[in-house]
């Protein structure tokens, strides 16, 4: 649904369209520290989904507060909209350059 907080209700429609076409992605968190974000569609290739996943993980690490100590990402799971979650082993995540 359109929401002024997410930028989908605005007086400057052209700027909003440009931002979303340029790849603006919003993620939300709940009170338990879970991050909810869509990484793609079923029509995306495996390489595109992987690139989106890596970009999201990198962004979450980038916005990590300086006061956060220890392991920042404890668990990652991926799922379809109404499907079961599949756990991702965070210790096996490799940098994108490899």
CATH 3.40.630.30 fits 38-93, yes or no: no
The answer on pLDDT for 96 being more than 60 is no
Confidence grade of residue 46 (pLDDT, cut at 50, 70, 90):
very high
4-37 tens-digit pLDDT: 666 667 777 787 777 767 766 677 788 888 888 8
The C-alpha torsion from 38 through 43 and 47 to 53, rounded to 10°, is 0
**So what's the pLDDT on residue 37?**
86
Q: Rounded to the nearest 5 degrees, what angle is found at the Cα of 90, between the Cα atoms of 68 and 51? A: 100
The answer on pLDDT for 67 being more than 90 is no
Backbone angles phi, psi at 23, to 5 degrees: 105, 15
Tally Cβ neighbours within 10 Å of residue 38: 11
Domain with CATH 3.30.190.20 in the chain: 38-93
Contact between residue 50 and residue 44 where contact means Cβ atoms under 8 Å apart: no
DSSP assignment letter at 76: E
């Amino acid at each position: 649904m359109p929401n002024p907080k997410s930028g989908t209700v605005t007086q400057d429609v052209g700027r909003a369209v440009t931002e979303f076409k340029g790849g603006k992605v919003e993620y939300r968190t709940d009170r338990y520290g879970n991050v909810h974000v869509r990484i793609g569609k079923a029509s995306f290739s495996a390489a595109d989904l992987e690139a989106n996943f890596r970009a999201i993980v990198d962004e979450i690490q980038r916005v990590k507060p300086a006061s956060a100590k220890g392991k920042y990402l404890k668990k990652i799971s991926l799922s379809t909209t109404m499907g079961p979650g599949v756990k991702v082993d965070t210790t096996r995540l490799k940098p994108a350059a490899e």
